[in-house]
Amino acid sequence: MKNIIDNALEYVKGVFETDYSGHDFFHTFRVYKMATHIAIKEKANLEIVQLAALLHDVDDIKLSPETHIKKDKARSFLIANNVDETVIDTICQIIDEISYRGTDSIIPKTLEGKCVQDSDRLDAIGAIGIARAFAYGGNHNRAIYNPDVGPKLNMSAEEYNNHISTTINHFYEKLFNLKDLMNTDSAKNIAQAREMYMKDYVSEFMDEWEGIK
């Protein structure tokens, strides 16, 4: 197993070497490490969790829309590394179920999928989540904050994917929802503190914006 994991690490490092939107190699590596931690605690299939975590963004609709539907990059890598077709299908299903889709978000069918989805969502909250939110916003020419533009809540997948907002609104439109969407007890425990950190940050941001502090 170690050989294919090493190969996957090298592969995703090449895929994301020029990404500065918060979906870089280090995001994938953190998801991989957290997914490994959660999988061990939850007694999930470690190889499936690790491979799905490492490949979870290679066909992301925001990053590679042309390969998203069939998961072409993930499938090609797994086939080249002689992974069984049934396992490939399981990994691709996990990748397909992982993304946040507003009110249309999916609970993964497998324990392994829940571990990977939780790990990806944990990397979107807390201190690193804050940094990634602003990196993504700047990369996509989004305003940090505009008091005349309020957050749009309870969006469907289509609304969420097409919506252009501010980075501060993103906390209300997605990030503050993630704690309650965690699947595993392991992730729920971690998410509590990370959400509190984000809420304290946004409160401080608004006080400074208004000149209160």
Residue 1's pLDDT is 61
pTM of full prediction above 0.85: yes
Identify the burial level of 86 via C-beta atoms within 10 angstroms of its C-beta, where 0-12 means exposed, 13-18 middle and 19 or more buried. exposed
Can you give the residue range of the structural domain that contains 47? Answer: 2-209
Residue 22's pLDDT is 93
The 10s digit of each residue's pLDDT in 12-30 is: 999 999 999 999 999 999 9
Q: What is the CATH number of the domain that holds 204?
A: 1.10.3210.50
How far apart are alpha carbons 38 and 110 in whole angstroms? Answer: 14
The 10s digit of each residue's pLDDT in 135-159 is: 999 999 999 999 999 999 999 999 9
The answer, yes or no, to whether residue 75 has pLDDT greater than 90, is: yes
* Alpha helices for the chain (secondary structure H): 2-15, 25-42, 46-55, 72-80, 85-97, 111-122, 126-139, 157-162, 167-173, 185-209
Contact 49, 8 (CB under 8 A): no
The answer, yes or no, to whether residue 2 has pLDDT greater than 80, is: no
What's the domain count of the chain?
1
